[in-house]
C-alpha cells in the first residue's frame, strides 16, 4: 500500500551518531521483517518455483523439474476455468451486496445520536465473528428441517421444502449474500468515516440551490466518497476472491460444483488430488489475474 | 445543517434499530439455538420459552474439546505476545528513526497485510511438511503471526507518532539511550494501543480456520475451529451442541472487540484486515 510510506521527519539530535546508533533501526525492524519474509516473500518465490515442478504425490514422492507442464494442463482444465468464472461472479456479487447494504446503512447511521453511535459499533458483529462460526451458524439457519431462515424463505416461496443450499443456483446466490453480509460492516465504517469528513456547508449550499436529496447524493456525497468506495471495494474484492471458509464449511463446494470457487479448487488439488505443484500453478495464475484486475479497478479513481 | 425536527429524529432512530436488528438476527439466532433444548429448536417456534445449558456441558464432555480449547489458548496467547514484542520496536523505528531503506521495510511489512492466507497456502503447507513441522502448534503459531503483525505495526506507528518528540528528547539529553527512551517514555504512553493490538492478534488467531485445517490433522494439536466439525455426531445429532461450540469461539472475539472497539476501528480502517 502506497499510503504506508508516511512522511515523518527524522529526529537529528545534537549528539554524534555512532555505528551502534546507525545499526539500531535495522535491529529494531529485523524481527518483523524476518516474519514478513518467512511468511509472505519466501512463499511467493517458492510458489513460483513449485509451479514449474512435476509433482504428483501418487506418482512421484519428490518434485522433478517439469517446466510449463502444470500451466499446460491448467490451460486445458475446463473445470478450473469454470471455477475461475464462478470466482468472478462470487467476487463481484459479494462486493455488490456489500455496497448495496453498506452505503445506505452508512447514510442512515451518519447522524449525531446515541442510537446511531451504538448501532455503528454493534453493526460490526458480523465482521468480527469468525468465518467458521458463521459458516456453521448459517448451515443451521438454512437447514431444511429446523432452520429458521429457511422457514422464512419457504414462507416467501423462495425455497422449496429442502434447504436452499441443496439447489445449485440458489446455494451460490445464498452464500454470496451471506459473504456480502459478513463483509458489509467494514464498508459501513469506512463510508461513515468518509461521510463525516464532508463539510456540512456544501450540503447547505446545495440545498439553497434547490437540489433535492437524490441530486445532493449524486453531486455532493457520491464524488466525496467515491475513492473510499473504490479502495474498500478492492480490499473486500481481494478478500472475496480468495474466499474458502464459507463455501467450504457450508457446502464443500457443492451441490455438484455449484459453489466451487478457486480457493476450494486449490485446497482440493493439494489435499484430495495430491498435486501440490498444480495447486501452486493455480495460485500463480490467481495472483496474476487479481493483480491485473486491481490495477484496472484503480484506474477508476478520481483525481483531485 | 439545520437541526432536524424532533419526530424525524425519532423515526430515523427507530429505523436504525430495526435495520440493526435484522442484520444481527442471524447471530442472535445462533446464540439462542445454543441455549435452547433441541426439541424446541426443531418445533418450539422462533421465540424461545425454555433455556438450557446442557449443550455447553455436552461440548465440555466432548472428547477433544478441552484439548482444542487449550491449544487455541496456547496458540492465540503466544501469537499475541510475539506479535506485540516484534511490532513495537519495528513501529518505533519506522516512526522515529531515519535509516536507509525505511520505506522498503514499511512496504514489505505492510504489504503482507494484503496477502490472503489462501494465496500462500500451498507453499506454506509444502514448506511446513518439508521441515517436519506438520501437526505442530509451532507451525500454526508461526503462520498466524502473519495475521496480525502488519496491522499491529501500522496501528502502533500511528500511536507513536502522536507522542510528542520533546518527551523523548528530554530523556535522551538526560543520558538515556534510544532503547531506554523507547521503553521508559514511549511504551507507557502507548500501553492501551499495545494491549489493543495484542488482543487483535489473539482474536485473529483464535478464529482462524484454513491454515489450521491445512496444517493440523491430528486430534492432539487441533484448535477450536477444527473441532466444530467434529461436533456433528451422526448418532446423536444436535444443532444446539454445534451452535454452543460456535458461540464458545465467537463470544470472546465479540467481547474483546467491544472492549477495544475505539482503538481497533481506526486500525481496521487503516489496513483492511484479513477476515
| Structural domains of chain B sorted by starting position, each given as residue range(s) with its CATH number in brackets | 63-230 (1.10.3720.10)
pLDDT surpassing 60 at residue A9: no
Which of A233-237, A290-294, B235-239 has the lowest average pLDDT?
A: B235-239
For residue range A190-209, list pLDDT tens digits in order. 999 889 888 888 888 888 88
Q: Does A62 touch chain B (CB under 8 A)?
A: no
pLDDT at residue B275, rounded to an integer:
37
Query: Which residue in this structure is represented by grid cell 466432548?
Result: B62
Q: Using pLDDT thresholds of 50, 70 and 90, give the confidence band for residue B261.
A: confident
Chain A residues whose beta carbon lies within 8 Å of the beta carbon of residue B254? 125, 128-129
CA-based nearest residue in chain B for residue A181 = B23
Contacts of A44 (CB under 8 A, 6+ apart): A287, B115, B120, B123
Q: What residues form DSSP beta bridges with A53?
A: A65
Question: Nearest to residue B98, comparing CAs of A28, A3, A33?
Answer: A28
The span from the CA of A280 to the CA of A273, in Å, is: 13
pLDDT at residue A5, rounded to an integer:
43
Q: Which three cell numbers stand for residue B257?
A: 472487540
The span from the CA of B115 to the CA of B212, in Å, is: 17
Across the interface, of B15, B95, B243, the residue whose CB is closest to A137 is B243
pLDDT at residue B8, rounded to an integer:
81
Chain B residues whose beta carbon lies within 8 Å of the beta carbon of residue A29? 89-90, 93-94, 105, 109
* Size of chain A in residues: 304
Beta carbons of B171 and B65 less than 8 angstroms apart: no
Residue A43 Cα to chain centre, angstroms: 20
pLDDT at residue A2, rounded to an integer:
37
For residue range B32-44, list pLDDT tens digits in order. 999 998 888 877 6
Question: Nearest to residue B206, comparing CAs of B139, B153, B147, B270?
Answer: B147
A64: part of which helix (H) or strand (E)?
Answer: strand A64-65
Asked if the Cβ–Cβ distance from B89 to A137 is below 8 Å, we say no
Asked if the Cβ–Cβ distance from A270 to B214 is below 8 Å, we say yes
CB neighbours (10 Å) of residue A28?
25
For residue range B184-239, list pLDDT tens digits in order. 888 888 888 899 889 989 999 999 999 999 999 998 999 999 998 888 776 777 88
The predicted model gives A241-255 an average pLDDT of: 92
Question: Nearest to residue A9, comparing CAs of B180, B89, B102?
Answer: B102
Q: Does B259 touch chain A (CB under 8 A)?
A: no
Q: Is A54 helix (H, G, I), strand (E, B) or coil?
A: strand
Contacts of A150 (CB under 8 A, 6+ apart): A141, A142, A143, A144, A159, A163, A164
Q: Does A93 touch chain B (CB under 8 A)?
A: no
The span from the CA of A69 to the CA of A75, in Å, is: 10
Question: Nearest to residue B94, comparing CAs of B108, B80, B81, B83?
Answer: B108
Asked if the Cβ–Cβ distance from A132 to B268 is below 8 Å, we say no
The predicted model gives B105-113 an average pLDDT of: 84
The span from the CA of B95 to the CA of B110, in Å, is: 14
Beta carbons of A142 and A224 less than 8 angstroms apart: no
pLDDT at residue A216, rounded to an integer:
85
Asked if the Cβ–Cβ distance from A239 to B116 is below 8 Å, we say yes
The span from the CA of A104 to the CA of A122, in Å, is: 16
Question: Nearest to residue B208, comparing CAs of B139, B132, B129?
Answer: B139
Question: Nearest to residue A143, comparing CAs of A259, A244, A250?
Answer: A250
ipTM of the complex: 0.88
The span from the CA of A279 to the CA of B198, in Å, is: 34
Chain A interface, mutation test: which of B16, B167, B251, most A Cβ atoms within 10 Å?
B16
Q: Is B173 helix (H, G, I), strand (E, B) or coil?
A: helix
Beta carbons of B149 and A32 less than 8 angstroms apart: yes
Q: Which three cell numbers stand for residue A248?
A: 467450504
Across the interface, of B20, B146, B268, the residue whose CB is closest to A39 is B146
Structural domains of chain A, ranges and CATH numbers in brackets: 77-298 (1.10.3720.10)
The span from the CA of A70 to the CA of A280, in Å, is: 9
For residue range B145-191, list pLDDT tens digits in order. 988 888 889 889 888 888 888 888 888 888 888 888 888 888 888 88
The span from the CA of A132 to the CA of B207, in Å, is: 7
Q: Which three cell numbers stand for residue A109?
A: 447511521
Nearest CA-CA distance, residue A1 and chain B, Å: 6
Task: Tell me which range, A42-46, A294-298, B267-271, is most confidently predicted by mean pLDDT.
Answer: A42-46
CA atoms within 13 A on the CB side of B86: 23
pTM of this prediction? Answer: 0.88
Across the interface, of B103, B115, B209, the residue whose CB is closest to A40 is B115
Chain A residues whose beta carbon lies within 8 Å of the beta carbon of residue B126? 46, 50, 276, 280
The span from the CA of A94 to the CA of A155, in Å, is: 25
The predicted model gives B73-83 an average pLDDT of: 96
Asked if the Cβ–Cβ distance from B275 to A182 is below 8 Å, we say yes
CA-based nearest residue in chain B for residue A22 = B99
The span from the CA of A84 to the CA of A263, in Å, is: 10
The predicted model gives A34-41 an average pLDDT of: 89
User: How confident is the prediction for chain B on average, in pLDDT?
Assistant: 87
The span from the CA of A122 to the CA of A91, in Å, is: 25
pLDDT surpassing 70 at residue A14: no
Beta carbons of B144 and B204 less than 8 angstroms apart: yes
Beta carbons of A132 and B211 less than 8 angstroms apart: no
Chain B residues whose beta carbon lies within 8 Å of the beta carbon of residue A182? 275
pLDDT surpassing 90 at residue A7: no
For residue range A41-99, list pLDDT tens digits in order. 899 999 999 899 888 776 677 777 877 888 988 899 999 999 999 999 999 999 999 99
pLDDT at residue A1, rounded to an integer:
36
**Chain B from 27 to 46: CB within 8 A of any A CB:** 27, 29-30, 33, 41-42, 46
Residue A192 Cα to chain centre, angstroms: 19
Q: Does A197 touch chain B (CB under 8 A)?
A: no
Contacts of B44 (CB under 8 A, 6+ apart): B36, B37, B50
pLDDT at residue B270, rounded to an integer:
57
Which of A98-102, A159-163, A178-182 has the lowest average pLDDT?
A: A159-163
Q: Using pLDDT thresholds of 50, 70 and 90, give the confidence band for residue B3.
A: low
Amino acid at each position: 500500500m502506497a499510503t504506508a510510506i508516511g512522511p515523518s521527519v527524522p529526529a537529528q539530535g545534537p549528539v554524534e551518531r555512532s555505528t551502534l546508533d546507525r545499526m539500531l533501526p535495522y535491529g529494531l525492524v529485523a524481527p518483523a521483517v524476518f516474519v514478513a519474509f518467512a511468511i509472505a516473500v519466501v512463499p511467493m518465490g517458492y510458489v513460483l518455483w513449485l509451479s514449474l515442478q512435476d509433482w504428483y504425490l501418487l506418482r512421484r514422492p519428490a518434485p522433478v523439474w517439469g517446466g510449463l507442464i502444470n500451466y499446460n494442463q491448467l490451460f486445458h482444465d475446463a473445470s478450473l476455468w469454470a471455477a475461475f468464472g464462478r470466482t468472478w461472479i462470487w467476487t463481484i456479487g459479494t462486493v455488490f451486496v456489500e455496497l448495496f447494504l453498506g452505503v445506505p446503512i452508512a447514510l442512515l447511521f451518519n447522524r449525531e445520536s446515541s442510537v446511531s453511535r451504538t448501532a455503528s459499533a454493534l453493526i460490526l458483529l458480523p465482521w468480527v465473528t469468525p468465518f467458521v462460526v458463521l459458516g456453521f451458524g448459517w448451515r443451521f439457519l438454512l437447514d431444511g428441517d429446523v432452520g429458521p431462515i429457511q422457514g422464512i424463505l419457504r414462507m416467501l416461496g423462495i425455497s422449496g421444502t429442502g434447504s436452499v443450499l441443496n439447489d445449485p443456483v440458489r446455494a451460490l446466490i445464498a452464500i454470496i449474500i451471506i459473504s456480502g453480509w459478513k463483509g458489509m460492516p467494514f464498508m459501513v465504517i469506512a463510508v461513515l468515516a468518509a461521510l463525516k469528513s464532508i463539510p456540512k456547508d456544501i450540503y447547505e449550499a446545495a440545498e439553497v440551490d434547490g437540489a433535492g436529496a437524490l441530486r445532493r447524493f449524486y453531486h455532493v456525497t457520491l464524488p466525496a466518497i467515491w475513492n473510499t468506495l473504490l479502495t474498500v471495494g478492492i480490499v473486500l474484492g481481494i478478500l472475496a476472491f480468495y474466499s474458502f471458509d464459507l463455501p467450504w464449511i457450508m457446502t464443500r463446494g457443492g451441490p455438484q460444483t455449484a459453489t466451487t470457487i478457486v480457493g476450494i479448487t486449490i485446497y482440493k488439488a493439494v489435499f484430495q488430488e495430491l498435486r501440490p505443484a498444480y495447486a501452486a500453478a493455480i495460485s500463480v495464475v490467481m495472483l496474476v489475474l487479481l493483480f491485473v484486475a486491481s490495477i484496472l479497478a484503480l484506474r477508476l479513481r478520481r483525481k483531485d | 445543517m439545520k437541526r432536524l425536527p424532533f419526530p424525524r429524529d425519532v423515526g430515523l432512530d427507530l429505523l436504525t434499530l430495526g435495520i440493526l436488528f435484522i442484520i444481527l438476527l442471524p447471530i442472535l439466532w445462533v446464540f439462542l439455538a445454543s441455549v435452547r433444548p433441541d426439541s424446541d429448536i426443531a418445533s418450539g417456534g422462533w421465540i424461545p420459552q425454555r433455556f438450557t445449558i446442557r449443550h455447553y456441558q455436552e461440548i465440555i464432555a466432548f472428547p477433544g474439546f478441552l484439548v482444542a480449547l487449550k491449544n487455541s489458548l496456547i496458540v492465540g496467547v503466544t501469537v499475541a505476545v510475539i506479535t506485540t514484542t516484534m511490532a513495537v520496536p519495528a513501529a518505533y523505528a519506522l516512526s522515529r528513526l531515519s535509516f536507509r531503506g525505511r520505506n522498503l521495510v514499511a512496504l514489505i511489512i505492510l504489504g503482507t497485510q494484503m496477502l490472503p492466507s489462501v494465496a500462500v497456502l500451498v507453499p506454506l503447507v509444502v514448506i511446513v511438511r518439508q521441515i517436519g513441522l506438520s501437526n505442530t502448534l509451532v507451525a500454526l503459531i508461526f503462520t498466524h503471526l502473519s495475521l496480525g503483525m502488519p496491522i499491529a505495526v501500522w496501528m502502533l506507528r500511528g500511536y507513536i507518532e502522536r507522542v510528542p518528540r520533546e518527551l523523548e528528547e528530554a530523556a535522551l539529553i538526560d543520558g538515556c539511550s534510544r532503547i531506554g527512551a523507547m521503553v521508559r517514555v514511549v511504551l507507557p504512553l502507548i500501553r492501551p494501543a499495545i494491549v489493543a493490538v495484542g488482543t487483535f492478534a489473539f482474536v485473529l488467531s483464535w478464529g482462524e480456520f484454513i491454515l489450521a485445517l491445512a496444517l493440523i490433522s491430528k486430534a492432539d494439536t487441533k484448535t477450536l475451529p477444527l473441532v466444530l466439525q467434529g461436533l456433528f455426531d451422526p448418532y446423536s445429532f444436535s444443532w444446539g451442541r454445534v451452535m454452543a461450540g460456535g458461540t464458545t469461539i465467537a463470544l470472546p472475539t465479540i467481547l474483546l472487540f467491544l472492549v477495544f472497539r475505539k482503538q481497533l476501528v481506526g486500525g481496521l480502517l487503516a489496513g483492511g484486515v484479513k477476515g
